[in-house]
Amino acid sequence: MPRFVSARFARNLSEPSNNSYLVFESREEAERFISVSCPSPERSQARDNAGVSLVGPMTLHEVLVDVDNPVGTIGS
């Protein structure tokens, strides 16, 4: 059965990268995770209301990779 990886790279531009990944049994499960975990305006507003601030400019890249065919990126 093919497995897919949701790889999330969160990088504070002034510090080293923090990388994490999750492995899913199907592309549909991985795509669903990506769609429900994307930052939303409501989440940003809640963070601001709580007085939480980012320590620096951040970039977030999410890619979907087929584990059985690691050279081919499924999406970005």
Instruction: Report pLDDT for 73.
Output: 43
Interstrand relation of 4-12 and 17-24 (parallel, antiparallel or unpaired): antiparallel
Give residue limits of the domains in the chain.
4-75
- Percent share of the chain, pLDDT over 90: 0
Residue 8: is its pLDDT beyond 70?
no
Residue 2 has pLDDT above 60, yes or no: no
- 27-40: average pLDDT: 65
Give the pLDDT band of residue 64 (cuts 50, 70, 90).
low
49, two tokens: 């209301």
Tokens representing 50?
């709580």
Mean pLDDT of the chain: 59
Name, in order, each residue with C-beta under 8 angstroms of 2's C-beta and a sequence gap of 6 or more: 26, 27, 66, 67, 68
Query: In 1-76, at which residue ranges do the beta strands (DSSP E only) sit?
Result: 4-12, 17-24, 58-66, 73-75
